């Protein structure tokens, strides 16, 4: 296993954040509606981690360091984990475990349906993130994992629907998402590899990009 200590550090850092939020809720430091704050924080956490996981490939092209790809899977799985915790917090704190109300919410609040669609997309990615699935699906694995982009767009629409008029933070996430989507256009990928080649004085880097 490559970079075991970095992986462990990343795992502990990302895992400790929801524990800290729970601690803040327990000591009444999350304001008058801690349940809602937990739901919001976990939703934002899921979105930020999703954006981080999508930044790994462009960062690899830009820096030439293959370690980014080692962390991509873990960060992507954590995005899914935060989204599941976000759903669990919503069911527990906002719905009071009245599962019967969930169907009514889906109809009354279309943004809930968008959240479910985004979570289904992330679930498909998480379930097929194993080496076994990679081998089994072959070339189809890469195609399937492009679901991450529609899932990201749907998650952004879900958030926009919630925040509506107060869209400052949303605009920041949407801008980052647009940059990361643009970074996957082949011409932009080649440009990133070219920048790295110039830094390192390696004229073959662009040629080698497709072999990595
Ligand atoms: C079954 C799936 C989901 C359900 C039921 C759900 C439910 C909710 C609810 C009820 C809120 C608003 C809470 C409030 O009143 O403030 C919310 C906000 C949010 N959700 Fe979800 N969600 C789901 C999936 C997702 C996913 C997959 C993501 C991201 C990857 C996400 C990201 C967000 C964000 C960023 C917010 C806004 C937080 C804020 O206002 O600061 N949600 N969600």
* Residue 208 pLDDT > 90: no
* Residue 204 pLDDT > 60: no
Q: Which residue has the least CA distance to atom 25 on ligand 1?
A: 115
Question: Residues 45, 52: contact at Cβ < 8 Å?
Answer: no
Mean pLDDT of the chain: 93
Instruction: Kindly list the domain boundaries of the chain, sorted by start residue.
Output: 4-205
- Among 34, 115, 117, 168, which residue has the most ligand 1 atoms within 8 Å of its CB, making it the best to mutate? 115
Tokens of 201: 């004085």
- Buried/exposed 129-139: b ≥16 CB within 10 Å, e otherwise: beeeeeeeeee
Q: Which spans in the chain are helix H?
A: 4-26, 34-63, 67-89, 100-108, 110-127, 131-137, 139-144, 148-163, 168-182, 186-200, 205-208
Rounded to an integer, what distance in angstroms lies between the CA atom of residue 212 and that of residue 209?
6
What is the model's pLDDT at position 200? 86
pLDDT band at 206 (very low <50, low <70, confident <90, very high): low
pLDDT band at 201 (very low <50, low <70, confident <90, very high): confident
Rounded to an integer, what distance in angstroms lies between the CA atom of residue 9 and that of residue 178?
29
Please give the model's pTM, rounded to 2 decimal places: 0.93
What is the model's pLDDT at position 203? 60
For 69-96, write each residue's pLDDT tens digit. 989 999 999 999 999 999 999 999 999 9
For 32-53, write each residue's pLDDT tens digit. 999 999 999 999 999 999 999 9
**Ligand 1 atom, smallest distance to 109 CA:** 10
What is the model's pLDDT at position 186? 94
- Among 114, 121, 158, 163, which residue has the most ligand 1 atoms within 8 Å of its CB, making it the best to mutate? 158
pLDDT band at 211 (very low <50, low <70, confident <90, very high): very low
């Amino acid at each position: 296993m490559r970079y075991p200590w970095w992986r462990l550090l990343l795992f502990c850092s990302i895992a400790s954040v929801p524990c800290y939020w729970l601690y803040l809720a327990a000591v009444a430091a999350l304001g008058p509606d801690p349940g809602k704050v937990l739901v919001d924080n976990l939703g934002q956490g899921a979105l930020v981690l999703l954006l981080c996981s999508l930044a790994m490939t462009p960062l690899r092209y830009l820096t030439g360091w293959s370690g980014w790809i080692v962390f991509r899977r873990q960060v992507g799985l954590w995005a899914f984990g935060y989204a599941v915790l976000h759903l669990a917090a919503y069911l527990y704190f906002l719905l009071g475990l009245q599962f019967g109300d969930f169907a009514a919410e889906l109809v009354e609040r279309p943004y809930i349906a968008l959240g479910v669609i985004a979570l289904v997309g992330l679930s498909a990615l998480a379930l097929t993130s194993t080496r076994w699935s990679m081998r089994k699906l072959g070339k189809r694995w890469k195609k399937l994992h492009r679901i991450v982009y529609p899932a990201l767009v749907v998650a952004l629409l879900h958030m926009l629907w919630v925040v509506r008029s107060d869209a400052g933070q949303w605009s920041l996430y949407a801008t980052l998402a647009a940059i990361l989507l643009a970074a996957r256009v082949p011409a932009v990928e080649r440009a990133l590899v070219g920048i790295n080649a110039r830094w390192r004085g390696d004229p073959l880097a662009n040629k080698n990009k497709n072999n990595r």
